[in-house]
Structure 1
Amino acid sequence: MVIEEPARVRPGRRQYAYNLFRNRLRLKLPCAVPAERPVPGFLGPEQWSFEQVLGRSEAALPGFRDRAASVGVRLNGFNLLQAPRPKGWS
């Protein structure tokens, strides 16, 4: 396993653009995967749906924490957002 060091992120610009997915059965369980990385196998279309792309310079959706996402990606290759569904993530 390769553990990457987190890059310094300029204010207003996150380290990655993210593909955001939502669990079909547990709507309060979104997952963020860097757009430049392969989608993990557990994010199959039967249980997960693609929501949107969150660009590197776009404002974060409410509840999305850039630092937590980059740490999750560094350790796992993706980040499960284990908080209640934020507003804006209908």
Structure 2
Amino acid sequence: MRTYNLFRRKGEADLFCAVPQDVPVPNFVTADNWEYARPLDIEALSGFDATAAQASAAANGFYLFHSAS
């Protein structure tokens, strides 16, 4: 499985942006609106779909998702 850096949207604790470690962080992920989420087991996060993340990262360079946990 690919390794991702996770960022959490400030003010929306359940909104994440997963960025593959070997890809630059997108410009919209700024310190004003996002915070680096401590290392998490992404497979344990509700809403993380590894297949969708891989497809989204290939097309966009990131994967946005909501987590219920």
Identity %: 34
Relative to the length of structure 2, the TM-score reads 0.84
Q: 1:65 aligns with which of 45, 49, 55?
A: 49
Structure 2, unaligned runs of 5 or more:
none
Relative to the length of structure 1, the TM-score reads 0.66
Structure 1, unaligned runs of 5 or more:
1-13
Deviation at 1:60, TM superposition (A): 1.1
Query: Number of residues paired by the alignment?
Result: 68
Q: Could you list the structure 1 runs, at least 4 aligned residues long, displaced by more than 6 angstroms after superposition.
A: none
Deviation at 1:53, TM superposition (A): 3.8
Q: Which of these two proteins has the greater Rg computed from alpha carbons?
A: 1
* Greater per-residue strand proportion: 2
Q: Is the 8 A contact 1:20 1:52 kept in 2?
A: yes
Match of 1:86?
68
Residue 37 to residue 59, structure 1, CA distance change in 2 (3 Å): closer
Match of 1:77?
61
Cα RMSD after superposing both structures: 1.7
